[in-house]
Chains A and B, each alone.
Chain A
Amino acid sequence: MSFLSDLGIWAPILTVTGIYALLALGLQVQVGQAGLRNFGHVASMLLGAYTMAILNSEGVPLVLSMLAALAVAMLAAALVAIPTLRLRGDFLAIVTIALAEIVRILARTDVEAIVGRPLTNGPSGLSDRTFRSEVIKPILDWGRDNGWDFDRSLPLLVIVWTAVLVVGLGLWALSRTPWGRVVRAVREDEDAVRALGKNAFLCKVQAMAIGAACAALAGCFFVANQVQFSPASFEPIVTFSAFTIIILGGLGSFRGAVAGAFVLQVLLERTRYIETGFTGEQEAALRYIVVGLVLMALVAFRPQGIFGKREELVLGD
């Protein structure tokens, strides 16, 4: 059990990997399965994170505030979907990235003027004192309190990866139902789907909401894993990372989303601990250069990603 008492650098890396895997699983439903280029995915994560953190600090039980976080993100995605899903392809991408920025900037300016009390605490965000200590600590210390000597980050790590497993398997199973078939058909040709009597629009709204729920769950775990977070944690780069993950893993593949998250996080985070002799700034730049090179190599030699299907790439538009 000695390695469990000190997971060292792998605990934080794997926890963040799990969080990104959840985020990417949601994006995989929207982009990989339904073909909806949602470039505002991080907004769902933000809504989930803030909803959970705020409700928590108000004393709402953990599970309830997580459920509320999912509900808020799903509702927001569905509401946004109704006017915007008539847009196709690139137009949807532009509108969603703008909407995500609006959400982030609203959180940064705080919504005090609208709701009459400080809610998101502006640019400094929410910290440990407001929610983490009371709510997350019992979970983190659960092992120690029961007399077991294991790493304090283990409980959260296990919870996050259980969620990844459950969500991943659930989405995979759902994609194999007749509903999943309609979703993929919408990606191929929406008009033909309508001509065959299926409600393509409803299906797209549902795919958006399911993807948003995954992102919100990622947001909840993100909060649980942080001492402090602020709107700066939800810049568009998070969405781009999720896109990188699903391209790495293979569009449309759920295990690809998990594998892609692992590859990206190991490239970005594990390399922090390699002694290179460069300055910190140089190393940070170097890590992204490595990610870029890996992506380029992938596109050149395995364009379908780790688990993608080559035929689907060739046959696609």
Chain B
Amino acid sequence: MTDTPQSPLLSLHDVQLAFGGLRAVDGISFDVAEGSITALIGPNGAGKSTLFGIVAGFHSPDSGRVVFDGKDVTRRAAHSRARLGLVRTFQLPRVFARMSVLDNMLLAAPDQPADGLLWAMVPGRGRARAAEIETRAHELLAGFGLGKKSADYAGALSGGQRKLLEFSRALMAKPRLLLLDEPLAGVNPALGDELLAHMERLRAEEGLTFLFVEHDMTAVMEHADQVVCMGEGRLVAQGPPEIVRAHPAVLEAYLGAEDVEVEA
């Protein structure tokens, strides 16, 4: 499954970001091959979430470059990266609470001309597209077991259902690379397995690429083709799971940190 990468879908070149004196991300470079699953691990405070923010366009790096699909996107706004197919989820699922589950899904669809104010003012414009989008949304919701919830307020969903909604909503945005920030955090084991199965299936069926931050080492070792380990803002190790797992620097990064959760 680990193809030899021709040109990577995502590559980071010496990315740095400091908050005051704290070097949150300190010279990170790595590639993510198209169709691969890459896990980003590291102890708490290693800079994973910040790096995630940089990739998705929520933080602007002090230096370095983010290249997606051959385009330098370092200075692009988050929404414009998402349109290229670089779509993120959040550590705590962020659903639009006072909107219906279906509306949450519909919103995420790209290529709806009436998302723009001017086209929205033209009656009937976007109606044809709306029908397509709705069909797709219902398919996805059914696939994620949310079929019966589509008319409910998203805010009325349970934590696990919100996680599923956020995942399926991200898929509505037609991603090429899905950035998942701790997809298994706060999720019961059965649901976690379901999410991981969805990930594998989407990669196999649709060639989707994944980059995910995760603390659950079993999931990382079983599902990732490549593991990148960060510690104190730096890249500690990278490579196939079995290599990274046994890497002394990785062990040190975890054991040196306060909470140890490496073995599983």
Contact = CB atoms under 8 A, between A and B. Distances in A.
Determine if chain A interacts with chain B.
Answer: yes
B79 A185 contact: no
A300 interface: no
A186 B103 CA distance: 13
A256 to B, nearest CB: 15
Nearest to A195: B88
Interface string A179-214: 111101101110111111111100100100000000
Contacts of A177: 114, 120-121, 126
Interface stretch (A132-140, A280-288, A308-316): A308-316
B173 A196 contact: yes
B96 A184 contact: yes
B131 to A, nearest CB: 12
B173 A197 contact: yes
B117 A179 contact: yes
A174 interface: yes
B114 A179 contact: yes
Contacts of B77: 194, 199
Interface in A91-115: none
Contacts of B78: 191, 194-195
Contacts of A192: 90, 94-96
B240 interface: no
B82 interface: yes
B107 A315 contact: no
Question: Interface of chain A, helix or strand or loop or mixed?
Answer: helix
Contacts of A182: 107, 115
The size class of the interface chain B forms with chain A is: 35 or more
A197 B87 contact: yes
B211 interface: no
B106 interface: yes
A178 interface: yes
A188 B98 contact: yes
B56 interface: yes
A123 B97 CA distance: 47
A185 B82 contact: no
A316 B153 CA distance: 11
A187 B170 CA distance: 19
B27 interface: no
A182 B206 CA distance: 27
B195 to A, nearest CB: 18
Contact of A194 (B82, B97, B116, B126): B82
A187 B98 CA distance: 9
B138 interface: no
Interface of B: 56-58, 77-80, 82-83, 87-90, 94-99, 103, 106-108, 110, 112, 114-117, 119-121, 126, 130, 153, 155-156, 169-170, 172-173
Nearest 7 pairs between A and B by C-beta?
A315-B155, A197-B82, A179-B120, A188-B96, A177-B120, A178-B114, A192-B94
Interface of A: 174, 177-182, 184-185, 187-189, 191-200, 203, 206, 311-312, 315-317
Given A178-B106, A194-B78, 15 more contacts: A177-B121, A178-B126, A179-B119, A181-B107, A185-B99, A191-B58, A192-B95, A195-B58, A195-B89, A195-B90, A197-B83, A197-B173, A311-B98, A315-B97, A315-B98
